[in-house]
Structure 1
Amino acid sequence: MIAMIDKINNERISYRELFVASLKTARKLKDLGIKEGDVIGIVSDNRLEYFVPVLACFYLRAIIHPTNSSYHISELKQAYSNSKPKIIFTSNDKMEKVAQLQNETDYIKEIINFDNNYLDIVKGGAILESIEKSSDCDKKTAAIVSSSGTTGHPKSVVLTQGNLKFIMRNSKYLILSYSSESTGIGILPFYHIFGLMQTMTILNCRAKTVILSKFEPVSFCEIIEKYNVHLLLIVPTIADFLAKHPIVDKYNFKSVNDIVCAGAALGYEIQTILEKKFNCAVRQVYGMTETGVATVCVLGKKCKLGSCGTPVPGVEIEVIDAQTKNTLGPNEPGEICVKSVQVMKEYLGNPEATRATIDERGFLHTGDIGYFDEDGDFFIVDRLKDLIKYKSFQVPPAELEDVLKSHSEITDAGVIGVPDERAGELPMAFVVKVKNSKLSEQNVIDYVAERISVHKQLHGGVRFVDDLPKNSTGKLLRKKLREML
C-alpha cells in the first residue's frame, strides 16, 4: 500500500517501506546515543522521507523539532537556541547552512542528509528490535514546533504525546474525513503544525499523500483530478486561487465534496464563491500552534457564513473582556481563551511567556478577539496581538524591527501589517533614517530580504518618517502607525 507519492518525480514510498525505514533510523539514532528526551531537528522541504525521523523519534520517546527550511542561519540559531538538537536531518540543498549551524554551535553531534548518509541507514542498517512502553507517556514531550506566540520572536511550543494523541483522534474521527481509500495533498509545510498534523492523520487513516513541496497551480489541479481528491485542506491564499483563477475550470473537480480552510479567516466573498463552484460545504477551522491546531471547527456540513463553527469535543472556550477579565455572553466580542488536553505544555525555556499565556485556571489566552452567537457558533473578528498574518504565517513585527534597526543608516523602525485581499496582510515598515542618508525604499527592502525568510519580508513596502509615535515609556504605538496609512 502506497503511503506517499512525490508529484514532481513520481517517486513513492509504501507503508511497509516507511515503517522499516523508521525502525532502521530509530536503531541508528539509538546507536548514536539518542535516548528519551533528546531532541532531533529537521530542516527540509516536504519530501517522502520527512516522516521517517518523526516516527523514529516516537519509537525512542525522543523529541522531534522541525523548522522552516527557508530560515536563514540566524533564524535557525534562534529556533534551536533552547531545544539544542543533537542530530539534524536535512537535504542537499539545505546542507550548507545546517553545516554552518553545526560549526557555529556546540550541540549538533551529527547531520543526517536525506540525499546522502541517510541512504546508508535505510539500505544496510539494522532494525530497532523492540519499543519500550511507558505508563506515563502522555506527559512526555513529543514535539517542539516553532510559533510566534503572542508577541516578540518565534517561540518553541512544547507538545506532549498526550497532546498529539488527542489532536489526532479529533482530526481522524471528527474534522478530516479521510479513509484508507482517500488521497490527501501534501502542500502544507510539514514543519508547520497544520501540515504536520494533517499528514500524521492521513498516515493514521492509512490513506495516501501526494507531496507538492511548493504550490504550483497546474500540479495542484492535476493531483485533484488524477487522484479524485475529495477533501481539500487549504489556507486562504489557495482558496482565493480556487475561487478566481481561470485554470481551475479546465480540470474535473467533481470528486471534491469537502473543503476545510484554516490558517487565517476566510472572507465571505471567497467562501460563497467556493460553495457555489464546488457545490459543497466550505468549513473553517480556528486554532493556533499553542492550542494544538483545531479548537473550533464546523463539524457538520451546514456552515454559517463567516463562522468557524463550534468548539471540538474536549475543548472549553471562554470569551472574556480583555480589560476586566469578566466572562462575556453571546454576541459580545472579547478575547478567546481555550482550555483543553490539546493545549501546549509550555513555551520551551520561556516560563515568563508561558505564565503570560496560560493563566492559573489552565486557560490559554489566544490574543484573538471573537464572539459566539445564540447557537454557540464562533466568529473571529480581530486580534489583540500585533502579529501580522501573511498567508498562513505569523510574522512578529519585533523581529523585523530588530533587523531594520541593525542597519547603520536606520535609527528607528516600526512594522505593521497592511490589509491585502490575497495574502491577508503584508508586512510594511515605517523607517527613520539617519540625517542626510540617501537610503532608498528598495535599499531597505533588499536589506531585510538578505537577512530573513521570504514570508517575513517587506511585501507591503517602506515609508520614511521623521519619528515614530510612542507612549511615555517608549513603547511603539502601532495603532497610530495604522492611522498614518
Structure 2
Amino acid sequence: MGECFCVYIPNSIDYVVAFLGIVSAGGIVTTANPSYTAEELQHQLNDSSAVYLLAAESNIQKAMKVKQSVLSLKEIFVLGNDEECCSRFSDLLEDDGSFFHKPVSVQPREMPLVLPYSSGTTGLPKGVILTHHNIISIIHQMTHPDIFPLTTEDVVLGVLPFFHCFGLVLVSLCSVIRGCPVVVMSRFKPELFLTAIQQYKVTVILLAPPIAHFLVESPLVDKYDLSSVTTILSGAAALHPQVAVKLQTKFPSARIGQGYGMTEVSPVACVPLVGQTLYESVGVPVPATRMKIVSISGGATLGPGEKGEILISGPQVMKGYLNNPEATSLTIDEDGWLHTGDVGFYTEDKNFYLVDRIKELIKYKGHQVAPAELELLLMKHPSICDAAVVGVPDPRVGDLARAFVVIKPSHDDITPQCVQEFIAEHVASYKHLHGGIEFVDHIPRNASGKILRRKLRAKIFPK
C-alpha cells in the first residue's frame, strides 16, 4: 500500500493538482477539514498513519503544533511562501515530471485512493477506504448521460469543500474527466458566490441545503444575472421540497433536484434522472447500483411503499473502515450490502424517498457531527460527570447539536457558556453546540449503558 499524504488546505486550484499528483505517484490521499483544530488534525494523522502533510498559511501553525505528536509524519509542506519552518508546495512543482513517466503498480480493487473520514452510522470519525475501483466507478456512474451529463460547454462552480467527498468527486474529479472548467471558491461568500456565477456564466451548481436556502431567500440574488445556470443539484443533507420548488421558480429553465448517498458510497447512490421533477424524491439508483428497503426490526426485504432501512450494493461501496473490522462488519453485511442507517421507501418507478434516520449522526450544513466525539470531549470537562448529544432538526442547516449535561456535585458554578467555550476550544465551529446545552439530573440509558436518545429528543419535542 502506498504512503498516505494528508491534504489540509481550503479549496484552491492546487488542491486538485496535489490530489492527482499524489495518486499518480502511487500515494493515498486523506482529506482533512482545513478548519480542524490541532487535536482533530492529530487524530486523523495518527489514525491514517500519514507520512506527509500539506497545509495552508492559514492553518500551518496548527499543523506544526501536532508535528511531534504524529510519529509517522516525515515532512510538512505549506501552500504559500511565508513560512520557513517547513517545505514549500511550490518547490514540488519545480520537478521536471519525469517521475510520472514510470509505471505505478496498482491493484484497483484493493489499493486505497482516498481516505476521507466519516462517522458512518455511529461512533467516532473513521477512515473510509475508497479504492481506485470505487472512485473510477462513481465517476463513470455519475457522468452517465441520464444522470449528470457534463460537457466541455459546462462551467462548474467549485463552492463545495473539496475535503468533503461530495466536492472532491462530483465537482473536482468529474469535471476534470469531462474537461469542464471549474470556478474555485475557497469558501462561500454571498456576493462573491453570485458574482462568480454571473461573471463566468456558471452552468452547473452542486450545493448543500444552506446555499439553496440562500438562493431562495436572499434579496441579493435578484441583483445578479444568473440566467446561465442550467443545473442545480443538492446533496450532503436533505433538501426540503418547498425549497426545491422555490429554487425552480427562481431558475425556471434549470434542472433542480437532490441526490442521496454517503461518504461510504463514494459518495452517491441515487440521483434524479435528467428530466425528472420529483422534488420530494432523491431519485433512482445510479447505474450498476442496487438498493433495497429492509425491515428495521427483522431485516426482511420490503416492497414498494413500505418504510424501512435503505441498503446499497454497487461498485462504489467502500472497501471498509481503516483498521476497524468491527465497524466494517456492522456496516457491510456478508452479502455486500451496506446498511445506511437511513429510513426510506421506494415507489413502483424505482424512485427513492427519505423519511428518517436511525443512525446517530448529526448533519450540520452538510458536515458530519458525531455525537460520540462531542460526548467524549464533554466528559473531559472537570465539572461534567455525564453527557449526551442529539440533533435538533433545523430547516436551514439540517441539525443543531444539543447537549444534555450532568454536573458533578458541588460544581454548581458552571454555566452553559462555560461549556460552549470548552467545546469551541477543541473542535471546528461546525461541531459547536449550536442547539444549546441543558443541564439534567441523569442521562437515560438502557441496561447495556447505551444512551436512549429518543427519550432526550422527547424532552425537546414533547408530544
- Report the TM range for the smaller structure's normalisation: over 0.9
Residue 155 (str. 1) matches residue 126 (str. 2): yes
Measured against aligned partners, the alpha-carbon deviations of 1:302-340 in whole angstroms (never above 9, x if no partner) come to 221310111011100111002111000011110100010
Please, which of 265, 276, 279 is the counterpart of residue 238 of structure 2? 265
Residue 177 (str. 1) matches residue 142 (str. 2): no
How far off is 1:139 after superposition? 3.1
Which amino acid in structure 1 is aligned with residue 56 of structure 2? S
Residue 464 (str. 1) matches residue 439 (str. 2): yes
Residue 334 (str. 1) matches residue 299 (str. 2): no
8 Å CA contact retained: 1:177, 1:231: no
8 Å CA contact retained: 2:141, 2:288: no
The whole-number CA distance in structure 1 between the counterparts of 2:212 and 2:356 is 20
Q: In structure 1, what is the equivalent of residue 256 of structure 2? A: 282
Q: In structure 2, what is the equivalent of residue 378 of structure 1? A: 352
Structure 1 runs, 4 residues or longer, greater than 4 Å off: none
Identity level (%) = 38
Give 5+ residue unaligned stretches, structure 2: 82-87
Matched ranges for 1:193-232 at <5 A? 193-197=165-169, 198-232=171-205
The whole-number CA distance in structure 1 between the counterparts of 2:159 and 2:15 is 13
Q: In structure 2, what is the equivalent of residue 191 of structure 1? A: 163
Please, which of 95, 117, 129 is the counterpart of residue 146 of structure 1? 117
Measured against aligned partners, the alpha-carbon deviations of 1:123-150 in whole angstroms (never above 9, x if no partner) come to 3656425131547434321111111111
Distance 1:423 1:275, change over 3 A: same
Q: In structure 2, what is the equivalent of residue 54 of structure 1? A: 19
How far off is 1:388 after superposition? 0.9
Give 5+ residue unaligned stretches, structure 1: 1-35
Which amino acid in structure 2 is aligned with residue 75 of structure 1? E
How far off is 1:63 after superposition? 0.8
Residue 240 (str. 1) matches residue 240 (str. 2): no
8 Å CA contact retained: 2:122, 2:370: yes
Residue 119 (str. 1) matches residue 93 (str. 2): no
The whole-number CA distance in structure 2 between the counterparts of 1:456 and 1:135 is 37
Which amino acid in structure 2 is aligned with residue 417 of structure 1? G
Which amino acid in structure 2 is aligned with residue 217 of structure 1? P
How far off is 1:94 after superposition? 1.5
Residue 358 (str. 1) matches residue 332 (str. 2): yes
Please, which of 19, 26, 32 is the counterpart of residue 67 of structure 1? 32
8 Å CA contact retained: 1:427, 1:461: yes
Please, which of 432, 448, 451 is the counterpart of residue 476 of structure 1? 451
The whole-number CA distance in structure 2 between the counterparts of 1:136 and 1:443 is 51
The whole-number CA distance in structure 2 between the counterparts of 1:78 and 1:335 is 31
Q: In structure 2, what is the equivalent of residue 104 of structure 1? A: 69
Q: In structure 1, what is the equivalent of residue 85 of structure 2? A: none
Which amino acid in structure 1 is aligned with residue 43 of structure 2? Q
The whole-number CA distance in structure 2 between the counterparts of 1:374 and 1:129 is 49
How far off is 1:185 after superposition? 1.4
8 Å CA contact retained: 2:26, 2:104: no
Aligned residues: 450
- The alignment's C-alpha RMSD in Å is 1.4
Distance 1:92 1:268, change over 3 A: same
Q: In structure 1, what is the equivalent of residue 84 of structure 2? A: none
Please, which of 414, 434, 441 is the counterpart of residue 439 of structure 1? 414
Of 80-89 and 115-124, more deviation after overlay is shown by: 115-124
The whole-number CA distance in structure 2 between the counterparts of 1:390 and 1:129 is 40
8 Å CA contact retained: 2:151, 2:180: yes
Distance 1:331 1:130, change over 3 A: same
Q: In structure 2, what is the equivalent of residue 87 of structure 1? A: 52
Distance 1:297 1:129, change over 3 A: closer
How far off is 1:195 after superposition? 0.7
The whole-number CA distance in structure 2 between the counterparts of 1:102 and 1:166 is 36
The whole-number CA distance in structure 1 between the counterparts of 2:109 and 2:447 is 47
Residue 168 (str. 1) matches residue 168 (str. 2): no
How far off is 1:244 after superposition? 0.9
The whole-number CA distance in structure 2 between the counterparts of 1:238 and 1:165 is 28
Distance 1:394 1:129, change over 3 A: closer
8 Å CA contact retained: 1:303, 1:309: no
Which amino acid in structure 2 is aligned with residue 100 of structure 1? K
The whole-number CA distance in structure 2 between the counterparts of 1:42 and 1:255 is 33
Which amino acid in structure 2 is aligned with residue 143 of structure 1? V
The whole-number CA distance in structure 2 between the counterparts of 1:161 and 1:434 is 50
Residue 41 (str. 1) matches residue 6 (str. 2): yes
The whole-number CA distance in structure 2 between the counterparts of 1:328 and 1:305 is 24
Q: In structure 2, what is the equivalent of residue 137 of structure 1? A: 108
The whole-number CA distance in structure 2 between the counterparts of 1:403 and 1:90 is 25
The whole-number CA distance in structure 2 between the counterparts of 1:126 and 1:391 is 39
Secondary structure of 2:13's aligned partner: coil
Q: In structure 2, what is the equivalent of residue 21 of structure 1? A: none
How far off is 1:97 after superposition? 1.5
Secondary structure of 1:77's aligned partner: helix
Distance 1:145 1:471, change over 3 A: same
Measured against aligned partners, the alpha-carbon deviations of 1:80-106 in whole angstroms (never above 9, x if no partner) come to 233211111112222112122221121
The whole-number CA distance in structure 1 between the counterparts of 2:157 and 2:458 is 41
Of 37-46 and 116-125, more deviation after overlay is shown by: 116-125
Which amino acid in structure 1 is aligned with residue 49 of structure 2? K
Measured against aligned partners, the alpha-carbon deviations of 1:191-240 in whole angstroms (never above 9, x if no partner) come to 11001002111111222111111111100001111111111111100000
Matched ranges for 1:360-439 at <5 A? 360-436=334-410, 437-439=412-414
